[in-house]
Amino acid sequence: MGRPPKKGPRLAPLPRWADHTRNGWTKVVVDRRGRWEERLLLAREVLWYHVCGARPVRVVVSRDPKGHEKDDFLFTTDLELSPGAVVSHYFGRWPIEDTLRSSKQSLGGEEPQSWKGKGPERAASLAFWLYSMVWAWYLESQGPKPRFVKLPWYPKKARPSFVDAVSALRAEI
């Protein structure tokens, strides 16, 4: 009686699903920001009814074969992309997201004083320009071996962050 159901039974949480799945994992070499790396990938098409309605979504689980890193759970609505391409796109997108976050939070790019006309566009442009100038100054002034403060809660830190570059510039000024 009634219409057929639109939803199937609820799936297990993704970490539990990935841990209990034994078959279907494939070894794929992916591009991780210019470095080729082997990952174990598991892909499945699901319906995420609350987010995409009846449109299918591909879930890709990326696992470090050595077990050093946590699993990454990636989602895409582009079902034509291979799971390896989804992971490579994610790794390629990360530096962009980091730049957006740093220019907004450290340089005030999300707090323009003018919300009319070209004000917000100019504020964003200035934040990105400042971001570039801070990094250019930092890399030029620090040389090939930049110095930064090693904090007790992050002893394995190997590369400076944008906050380190801004701190060095403030100290210089």
Q: What are the tens digits of pLDDT across the range 70-112?
A: 999 999 999 999 999 999 999 888 889 999 999 888 887 777 7
pLDDT tens figures, 132-167: 999 999 999 988 788 777 788 888 888 888 988 998
Res 51: pLDDT = 84
pLDDT at 8 over 80: no
pLDDT at 22: 87
* 8 Å CB contact between 90 and 82: no
Contact 87, 62 (CB under 8 A): yes
Label residue 10 by pLDDT band (50, 70, 90): confident
Predicted local confidence at residue 146, as pLDDT:
80
Biggest CA-to-CA distance, the chain: 76
**113: pLDDT strictly greater than 80:** no
For a pLDDT cut of 70, what percent of the chain falls above it?
Answer: 99
Q: What is the rounded CA–CA span in Å between residue 27 and residue 65?
A: 8
Structure tokens at 131: 């971001």
Is residue 53 a contact partner of residue 26, using CB atoms and an 8 Å limit? no
Cβ atoms 108, 127 nearer than 8 A: yes
